[in-house]
Structure 1
């Protein structure tokens, strides 16, 4: 099953995240199917970008989102089923 989740990057104590579509069995930072956006929590103001068309396509095909990604999508006005 495809899951929309965060993939961590960046340095120690300086995280940045990519919002990705990945197979549920893969590791958190492992292979992903496609990158859908990014989230930089430590920048001021917080940077957040997502490709809404790609996300909607994955949701229509049965992908589920983690709670964190679902909350980001809700802020963008996209309702996603939660894992």
Structure 2
């Protein structure tokens, strides 16, 4: 996860301002790490494909919050 966080931070900096980069040990080429879903292989950067939801131990407040977010997503999807 630290590698993914560093890569995310580097995306938001001009190349000359990066203090470190991840490179292939054999070629020296800069690597572009990604985080993917283990089951589907889909890139988690796709903000339309993945959302957070209340987990099994979520309390009533958390469940209500995520239910409202789901309702809003449904409304936005119906409009677009």
TM-score norm. by structure 1 comes to 0.24
Q: Larger helix proportion, structure 1 or 2?
A: 2
Task: Identify which of structures 1 and 2 has the higher relative contact order when contacts are C-alpha pairs closer than 8 Å and 6+ apart.
Answer: 1
Larger Rg: 2
